[in-house]
Amino acid sequence: EEELSEAAILEKVKACAQNAMTPNLLRVINGTGVVVHTNLGRSILAAEAVENLSLIAGSYSNLEFDLSKGVRGSRYSAVEDVLCEISGAQAAMVVNNNAGAVLLCLETLSKGKKVIVSRGELVEIGGSFRIPDVMAKSGGILKEVGTTNRTHLKDYESAIESDTGLLLKVHKSNYSVVGFTAEVPVKDMVELGKKYHIPVMEDLGSGTFIDFSQYGLLKEPTVQESVATGADVVTFSGDKLLGGPQAGIIVGKKDILDRIKQNPLTRALRIDKLTLAALESTLRLYMDKDKAIAAIPTLRMLTLPYDDIAKKADRLGNILENIDDARLSIKLIDLSSRAGGGALPLLKLPSRCVSVNVKGLPVNAVERYMRNNTPPIIGRIEDDLFIIDLRTIQEDELQFIESAFSRMLRDL
């Protein structure tokens, strides 16, 4: 083996030391076109949320201190009022994520009792998280009714017994069953619950306060609509279609929420001050729907008009063409973006993309180089081309993409 010089050894040691000091969690440029990318951190926070997060992180706060009375307060007070204002619910609370919210509600309302749920709603989300498994951990006893594609109100009613503790509705946010189908609306389940004095819970999964059909997208049930049906408790995520930090949000009837808040499991699932700071700022943007659409990156990207994306693609295309290297072939193409985050599974968003081919370099090598760039640039490969979808590219990221390709061509 060739012996290394002292200088070469020192350089290797220096490189190893620098790598050891570099954080593992990095900023990433998302060129995949998947807006709520579960592997890339889900939602980007609004500027207002980032500012408040930084302020609270760098100082003491009134997390659990009532400033008006000078006594210990509740950490939920930071978000409960605004959640109730937006959703129309009587009470609200927040835990660490929606899986935790579902677990907490089931453990409180149905431990040792039967939970009636449609067979077609026994969903699984990422990481093999399954509703039946969570129910088993909560102590609830699963009672499946109906079939995979069709469930009727009579199926729920005929399954009710003296030990029934809950009627559960699970929104199929990450898949869709089409064709010969039937499911029971929440409002009908609520009427059935009232008849037999059984609470009704709806898990919305991703959850949204915005009716996306107003923006030409597919209809997704809103939190407000679920609350308006009379459901006793509704759970949903904070970091998906809502566009905030990871959180499991619970809204509903005050008597039900009071029971949930008193569950000892609540402390094990509670969120910290940083999440609360980011979540409160995000929620307050929803007090003005138009402001929310403009300020919350997830909403802005989902509703971004094709023409705006095309203009951004033109700019990136021109920037890359100006590198003026014959080995670089740039084309603008139309493809579809996705909502991601286990939401709107049938939605295809028309988008404009930049495709890149580097002469003499396999597309897998281009993808690998971009992935190892600083900051990493994550695209997708289609038809042996490296694709950058401009729907999920932010304006200040164009310069990083140009620099990465310029450096790659120099290194060849």
Residues 128-151 pLDDT 10s? 678 888 888 999 999 999 988 899
Task: For the chain, report the end-to-end CA distance as a whole number of angstroms.
Answer: 26
Whether 1 shows a pLDDT value over 60: the answer reads no
Residues 76-110 pLDDT 10s? 999 999 999 999 999 999 999 999 999 999 999 99
What is the 3 state secondary structure string of 299-316? Answer: HHHHCCCHHHHHHHHHHH
- Residue 397 corresponds to which tokens in the numbers above? 């990221």
Q: What band does 339 get if pLDDT is binned at 50, 70 and 90?
A: very high
Nearest alpha-carbon partner for 103 in 140, 146, 70, 77:
140
Residues 400-411 pLDDT 10s? 999 999 999 998
pLDDT above 70 coverage of the chain, percent: 98
Residues 33-48 pLDDT 10s? 999 999 999 999 999 9
Cβ proximity of 28 and 370 under 8 Å: no
Dihedral angle sign, alpha carbons of residues 8, 10, 16, 22: negative
Identify the pLDDT of residue 409. 94
Whether 412 shows a pLDDT value over 90: the answer reads no
CB-neighbour burial class of residue 249 (10 A; exposed 0-12, middle 13-18, buried 19+): buried
